[in-house]
C-alpha cells in the first residue's frame, strides 16, 4: 500500500505563486496553499489562478501573527476575516470551495506560552486552544484524515484530533537566506 504525501505551502500568495502553480501543475503535483488575508487582498488574481487550476486555498490568518500574543477575540477575527476573503475569491472564481483548512502562523496554536504548543501545561492555555478549535469547527474547518501519520510526538500532542492542519515535516526553506544558522552549527 502506498503512502499519501500532502504538499502545503504557507504565507501565500507570494509574488511568484503563478510560476509555482504552473510548475506543480506541469508535474501533476497537488498542493494546498495556506494564504494570509493581507496577501490575498494584494494578490487576489494569483489565488484565482490557483483555484481555477484546481488548487485549494487554505486560511493562514489575516496578517500572520503569533496567536499566543493575541486575545481570543483577535484570534477569532484573524480567522474570520480571512475566511470571508477566501469565500469571496472562490465565488469570484465560480468554484465551490472544496474544504476549509486552517494552519496557525508559526505553528503557534494559541497557547498562552508559545513553548507549550505540543503540551499546554497551564489550564488557561488548554482552554484557549479548545475555544479556538471550537471556533474553527463552527466555521466548518476540518483536518484531512491523516491515517498514515505514525509520529509519536504528533499523536501524543493530539494533533490528529485538532481541527487545524499542523505540519509533520518542515524543510525550513525560509531560513536559506538567514545570516545565522538556526541550529547554531557552523557551515
Instruction: Give me the mean pLDDT over the 158-163 stretch.
Output: 89
Please tell me the predicted confidence (pLDDT) of residue 150: 83
Flag whether pLDDT at 75 surpasses 90: yes
Tell me the pLDDT of the chain averaged across its residues: 87
pTM summary value: 0.88
Q: Would you call 17 helix, strand, or coil by DSSP? A: helix
User: Is the predicted pLDDT of residue 96 greater than 80, yes or no?
Assistant: yes
Instruction: List Cβ neighbours of 116 (8 Å cut-off, separation of 6 or more).
Output: 122, 125
Q: Residue 133 pLDDT more than 60? A: yes
Gap between the Cα atoms of 64 and 67, Å rounded: 9
State mean pLDDT over 94-110: 93
Write down the pLDDT at residue 182. Answer: 59
Higher-pLDDT residue of 67, 2: 67
- The CATH fold assigned to 8-175 is TIM Barrel (3.20.20)
The pLDDT score that the predictor gives to residue 145 is 85
Domain parsing of the chain, residue ranges? 8-175
Longest Cα separation, the chain? 51
Mean pLDDT of 89-117: 85
pLDDT (average), residues 176-187: 61
Q: How far apart are CA 93 and CA 85, in angstroms?
A: 12
Strand partners, 34: 10, 58
CA angle, 18 as apex, 25 and 35 as ends, to 5°? 100
pLDDT category, 155, cuts 50, 70, 90? confident
pLDDT tens track for 30-47: 999 999 999 999 999 999
**Distance separating alpha carbons of residues 12 and 83, to the nearest angstrom:** 14
Percent of the chain scored above 70 by pLDDT? 83
Q: Is the pLDDT reported for residue 17 higher than 70?
A: yes
pLDDT at 137 over 80: yes
DSSP H stretches of helix in the chain: 17-26, 37-42, 44-52, 72-93, 123-138, 152-156
114 confidence band (pLDDT: 50, 70, 90): very low
- Joined together, the cell numbers standing for residue 124 give 488557561
Give the separation between CA 5 and CA 34, rounded to whole angstroms. Answer: 16
C-alpha of 132 from chain center: 14
Burial (CB count within 10 angstroms: exposed 0-12, middle 13-18, buried 19+), residue 118: middle
Highest mean pLDDT among 128-132, 134-138, 150-154: 134-138
Residue 96 carries which DSSP code? -
Amino acid at each position: 500500500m502506498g503512502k499519501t504525501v500532502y504538499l502545503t505551502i504557507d504565507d501565500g500568495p507570494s509574488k511568484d505563486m503563478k510560476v509555482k502553480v504552473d510548475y506543480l501543475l506541469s508535474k501533476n503535483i497537488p498542493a494546498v496553499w495556506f494564504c494570509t488575508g493581507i496577501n490575498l487582498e494584494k494578490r487576489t488574481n494569483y489565488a484565482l489562478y490557483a483555484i481555477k487550476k484546481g488548487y485549494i486555498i487554505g486560511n493562514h490568518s489575516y496578517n500572520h501573527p503569533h496567536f499566543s500574543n493575541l486575545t481570543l477575540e483577535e484570534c477569532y477575527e484573524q480567522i474570520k476575516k480571512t475566511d470571508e476573503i477566501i469565500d469571496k475569491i472562490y465565488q469570484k472564481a465560480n468554484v465551490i470551495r472544496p474544504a476549509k483548512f486552517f494552519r496557525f502562523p508559526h505553528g503557534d496554536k494559541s497557547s498562552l506560552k508559545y513553548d507549550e504548543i505540543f503540551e499546554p501545561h497551564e489550564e488557561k492555555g488548554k482552554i484557549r486552544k479548545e475555544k479556538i478549535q471550537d471556533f474553527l469547527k463552527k466555521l466548518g474547518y476540518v483536518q484531512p484524515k491523516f491515517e498514515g501519520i505514525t509520529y509519536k510526538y504528533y499523536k501524543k500532542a493530539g494533533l490528529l484530533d485538532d481541527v487545524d492542519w499542523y505540519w509533520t515535516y518542515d524543510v525550513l526553506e525560509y531560513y536559506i537566506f538567514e545570516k545565522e544558522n538556526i541550529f547554531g552549527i557552523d557551515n
